[in-house]
Amino acid sequence: MDLWKITATQPTRELASKLTVSNGLVGVKDLVEVPQLQNDPSMAAVVYVNGFYDYEPIQYGEAQFGFPKRNQTMIPLPAPTRFELWLDDVPVDLEQGRLVSQQYTLSMANGQFSHELVWEEHATGRQLAITITRLTSLKTSALLTQQIAVKALNFETGHLRIISGLHAPVTSQSADFDPRLAHFDVDEILANQQSQQLSPTVRALTFNALQSQQQLSLLMSYDQPGEWVTDGDWTGEFELSATPVTVTKKIWFELGAAELSAAAETNLAASFTAITQAQTAALTEFWSTSDIKITGDDASQLGIRFSQFGLLQAVGLHEDGRGIAAKGLTGSGYNGHYFWDTEIYEAPFFYWNHPELAKRLLMVRFQQLPHAKAYAQSLGLAGALFPWRTINGEEASAYFPASTAAIHIDADIAYLVIRYYQITRDAAFMRDYGQELLVETSRFYLNYGNFDDEKGFVLNTVTGPDEYTALVNNNAYTNYLVQFELRYLTDHFSQKDIGRFKVSQREWTSFQKAADQMHFETRGDLIAQDDSFLSKKRLDLSRIPKDQFPLLTHFHPLVLYRLQVLKQADLLLAMVLLPEQFSDAQVQTNYDYYEPITTHDSSLSPAIYAIAAARLGKHDGAINFFKRTINTDLANTQGNTADGLHLAAMGGSWITFAWGMMGLTVNDEAASLHPYLPTGWTACQFRLRYRDTVYTIKVTATALTVTGATEDEVTIDQKKRTIKILATR
Ligand code: IFM
């Protein structure tokens, strides 16, 4: 098994998600480049552009004051990756011939998708070998490249016509169709060659998203002489010989007017070799600081690599900062919305390996701060409330109990600010952006909550991470994360430091007081998920028939909200995020209480229980939850990989490895590790970037080693199997 590749021979909708190439801006999902050679009309070929969305009004049965007015929906566009072939005027299709073989490959080493097919003509037995290779450039976000190579296998000469263009628009025939997505101007895909100063080899197509009034242009060029036809199709005529006919198509994506910028011009003129070499170089560099090597367990090795690659593909290695949608750019599930998944599940891989990418994600939130302030204001509150799901910074959910009420989103963003700062000590970021994010979100909490005479500081009527419980008082996860944020802010910055955000001494002291008096409902070591949770009826999951999971598809929310049952880790997540605040005994008690009533109906759940299990020495449980997480899409365990990959589970795989098996934690003074090898693993090696130094950590059954450090920074206790890297920079 090549542990750098995902390969398959049968096109399926799940496979299309798994083999999507994307780079944070553009995602291409297409296993059917030559539509004439496939017979499943549900196989859509789409391209997603992060930030290109429809903006239709939300139709409420019973609208109330302050409800979001418009939805945002990432638009699946017809992919510009279609080919049609003719051999001596015979269409290369399934009527005139048959597919002898085909193989799909996604290489995580060079970032290229390839599709190799052999077609045989019924009448003559002539065989053509067709190879399609494509990549979305990781360094140059706007660039998509696709090459087709066609070779005569068992005959000498022939005439080949290659037609290339857009796939048919995503229609109700195709699986990715959503009737709400019909709002872009398919009929008006304009060939606006004349109106632009484009070079003769370049053509532009423009999509207009009517409701968001966005315009997306595709500038396209080919490296072979050919003829353009008006709707964007291109035709090339070739004579087959011993060497394959190759045609490379390059597409440049431009949000806004189609103008041939210098960058577009240079990139559209680049050769396929130069583009693929640049991609391989970018990945070689990426893996040199991120690769995890697991010896003894190939499935874990492939799974963790696929997860890391998926995370990389969701952001790219360029400077074009956009958010990470729940499915990245691999499917239209969750409408292309950004969630808290980014800060809590996906960002850790980046802040420990590529902090500049974690910063880029934070900058996306910072740029949306004005919307978050307006949103808080719409609730009559000061500060900023970030939306639960969004593309453009506005709330896009119509169901407030499971969205607006999930106010922990602010503390999740603050958590990322703090961890990013602890790991990088990027003082300029903290001064210019981080402090404002911390202040405005803390201010919101101070206003949302209140001081209760008996309980202290309370945050009532909120929804925590567990979506089978909503609108409760004092969700413990929320309160722990808010307390962490308020403490960090007031411990590290004086009123003077943050006074420029109009923080008075009184407000600063209230931040401190709210943190100190934060309310938690406890019974000994058992911490209640919220004030009323323990008084609810406990659901015995073993009595629910298997076909009734996920429960949300069989039970009204009001049934679930009244029961002790979890969709996903909630309190345990706070324990995983803030490990120093909880004793092993507390983790044990709460793991034993909550795990049996957690359905893991959300793919965000198993990773968290894996990390808690690893801390408790429940190594079998940890590896089982880890495998479940890495297999979320590789084995389609949630049954909906066709709608796109589960990016949070991909992030969950990395944190399970790093925080769980490797016992990685961090605070202001140091990064610490307490690694163990799960059954079957004989060794592992990985890298971390901490305070601008890359450390290589090697774990075997008998020894721990750290390289890339000076001796006074690192302390290793081989007996206790601990590593401490002091923050000296
Ligand atoms: O953000 C998550 C949520 O926690 C569970 N449902 C899916 C969302 C998107 O991944």
pLDDT tens track for 119-140: 999 999 999 999 999 999 999 9
Q: What is the pTM of this model?
A: 0.96
End of a domain among 278, 301, 316? 278
* 156 and 297 housed in the same domain: no
pLDDT at position 186 is 42
End of a domain among 231, 254, 278? 278
Best residue among 338, 467, 560 to mutate for probing ligand 1, ranked by most atoms within 8 Å of CB:
467
Q: Which two tokens stand for residue 626?
A: 């880890």
Is the confidence at residue 287, as pLDDT, over 70? yes
* 707 and 669 housed in the same domain: yes
Is the confidence at residue 422, as pLDDT, over 70? yes
Instruction: State the residue for tokens 């968001």.
Output: 212
Q: pLDDT tens digits, residue range 561-609? A: 999 999 999 999 999 999 999 999 999 999 999 999 999 999 999 999 9
Q: pLDDT tens digits, residue range 696-712? A: 999 999 999 999 877 78
CA of 525 relative to ligand 1 center, distance in Å: 28
Q: Is residue 458 part of a domain?
A: no
Radius of gyration of the chain (CA): 27
Is the confidence at residue 193, as pLDDT, over 80? no
pLDDT at position 190 is 41
* 26 and 98 housed in the same domain: yes
Measured by CA distance, the residue closest to atom 7 of ligand 1 is 602
CA of 339 relative to ligand 1 center, distance in Å: 7
The C-alpha atoms of residue 284 and residue 288 are separated, in whole angstroms, by: 6
451 strand-pairing partners: 457
Query: Between β-strands 127-136 and 537-538, what pairing exists: parallel, antiparallel or unpaired?
Result: unpaired
CA of 461 relative to ligand 1 center, distance in Å: 20
Which three-class secondary structure state does DSSP give residue 43?
coil
* 609 and 652 housed in the same domain: yes
The C-alpha atoms of residue 256 and residue 240 are separated, in whole angstroms, by: 40
- What percentage of the chain reaches a pLDDT higher than 70? 95
- In whole angstroms, what separates CA 22 from the centre of its chain? 11
* 629 and 729 housed in the same domain: yes
- In whole angstroms, what separates CA 422 from the centre of its chain? 23
Please name which of 347, 286, 419 lies closest in space to residue 694, comparing C-alpha atoms: 286
**86 contacts 161 by C-beta, under 8 angstroms:** yes
Please name which of 659, 657, 46, 670 lies closest in space to residue 332, comparing C-alpha atoms: 46
CATH number at residue 153: 2.70.98.40
* 141 and 235 housed in the same domain: yes
* 612 and 653 housed in the same domain: yes
Q: How many structural domains comprise the chain?
A: 2
Best residue among 334, 344, 391, 567 to mutate for probing ligand 1, ranked by most atoms within 8 Å of CB:
334
The C-alpha atoms of residue 646 and residue 624 are separated, in whole angstroms, by: 18
pLDDT at position 168 is 79
pLDDT at position 231 is 64
Q: pLDDT tens digits, residue range 238-261? A: 999 889 999 999 999 998 876 778
DSSP annotation string for 657-670: IIIIIS--EE-SSE
Angle at alpha carbon of residue 723, lines to 722 and 729, rounded to 5°: 155
pLDDT at position 40 is 86
Q: Is residue 524 part of a domain?
A: no
pLDDT at position 39 is 85
Please name which of 229, 270, 266, 232 lies closest in space to residue 248, comparing C-alpha atoms: 270
* 177 and 296 housed in the same domain: no
Q: pLDDT tens digits, residue range 458-497? A: 999 999 999 999 999 999 999 999 999 999 999 999 999 9
Is the confidence at residue 300, as pLDDT, over 60? yes
Question: Per-residue confidence at 198, pLDDT binned at 50, 70, 90?
Answer: low
Look at 151-160, 168-177, 249-258 and tell me which has the smallest mean pLDDT: 168-177
Q: Is residue 268 part of a domain?
A: no
Q: Is residue 456 part of a domain?
A: no
Q: Is residue 626 part of a domain?
A: yes
Measured by CA distance, the residue closest to atom 5 of ligand 1 is 602
Q: Which domain holds residue 133?
A: 5-58+68-263+273-278
* 205 and 89 housed in the same domain: yes
Task: Give buried/exposed letters for 25-59 (b at 16+ CB in 10 A, else e).
Answer: bbbbbbbbbbbbbbeeeebbbbbbbbbbbbbbeee
CATH number at residue 313: 2.60.420.10
* 248 and 197 housed in the same domain: yes
Q: Is 700 exposed, middle or buried (0-12, 13-18, 19+ CB in 10 A)?
A: middle
Look at 117-126, 187-196, 248-257, 439-448 and tell me which has the smallest mean pLDDT: 187-196
CA of 165 relative to ligand 1 center, distance in Å: 36
Pocket of ligand 1 (CB under 6 A): 326, 334, 339-341, 465, 467, 602, 604, 648
Q: Is residue 402 part of a domain?
A: no
* 160 and 83 housed in the same domain: yes
* 51 and 192 housed in the same domain: yes
Is the confidence at residue 177, as pLDDT, over 80? no
Question: Per-residue confidence at 172, pLDDT binned at 50, 70, 90?
Answer: very low
Q: Is residue 476 part of a domain?
A: no
Instruction: Specify whether 467 is catalytic.
Output: yes
Q: Is residue 46 part of a domain?
A: yes
Q: pLDDT tens digits, residue range 50-108? A: 999 989 999 999 999 999 999 999 988 889 999 999 999 999 999 999 999 999 999 99
| Residue in 14, 395, 436, 467 annotated catalytic | 467
CA of 602 relative to ligand 1 center, distance in Å: 7
End of a domain among 231, 252, 278? 278
Q: Which two tokens stand for residue 436?
A: 């404002």
